[in-house]
Amino acid sequence: MMKALVIRANAKLNLSLDVTGVRDDGYHIVDMVNRSVTLFDEIKIELTPGSPFTIESNVRFFPTDEKNLIWKAARKLTETIGTGLPEARCTVRKRIPSQAGLGGGSADAAASLIGFNMLLDAGLNEQELCDIGASVGADVPFCVVGGTARVGGIGEEIHSIGDELYCPMLIAMPRYGRSTKEAYSMLDRTPDIRHPDTESVVRGLAAGDAEKAFAGAGNVFEYVTSDDVTEELKRKITADGAVYSAMTGTGAAVFGVFQRPREALEARDLLRAEGYGSWVVYRADKGVEIVT
């Protein structure tokens, strides 16, 4: 049996995000095109027989108790296989900013599921891990599958799609985050929202055509959570050469799609000089990658 793993938990971008309804139980129905990208948290999971389950991090405000999605995912997995919480230490090096719309917590939870499934020889398949992940968070199933996918339902319906568009993307993060719960509440109170053309995004990605892919793209949450900083970041990114720029998730991060790496890197450096967190990323084929 393996004793330890080092795992990359990749962030996700919502290349397009639509909300098409609300279920009777209050959960929102989504129609999204998600892509895993090469901004990641690094997680080391070590089995430590005789010791309690612990989480450590390089970030001070990072929760290290049962509120953490890594903890919740590990508990759900072991409940499924009929064992107790594993005797293990999880060391998390955070790179994905919080409250950004980049799925950092969900990516960590997916890494926990895949990691403990391997370390404990649980033998669960991808769909079983997705089912467990759905009980932890809406973005966890996608982060388990990763790649590029059209996501429906309340996040549990994952349909991998062809993605021939390999180009640099720039992520920019303001100096504050946003609450997902509050954003959905605001959306419910906002009439007359223009919905993106998700089907055209899927066709454009399959064709490897950036202009076609993003002509009909959009994010409905920009109608309710976008502010002056969001719009200014989008304007700067577009002025620096991006063919498309939008908010990801419920914010607060903004991303841009570039044709050439040099333009993306120059735009990144300009934003960093202004004090924004900014990263150039590429498409990742997986949501979770085993490093060692």
Residues with a catalytic annotation lie at 12, 139
Structure tokens at 158: 């994952």
Q: What is the largest CA-CA distance in the chain?
A: 57
Structure tokens at 47: 């089995």
Q: Are 144 and 287 in contact (CB under 8 A)?
A: yes
CB-based burial, 160-176: b 16+ in 10 Å, e otherwise? ebebebebbbbbbbbee
Provide the H-helix boundaries in the chain: 69-81, 104-119, 126-134, 140-145, 180-188, 198-207, 210-215, 222-225, 228-239, 261-273
Rounded Cα distance between 268 and 8, Å, is 23
Rounded Cα distance between 42 and 198, Å, is 32
Structure tokens at 260: 């050439």
Q: Are 219 and 251 in contact (CB under 8 A)?
A: no
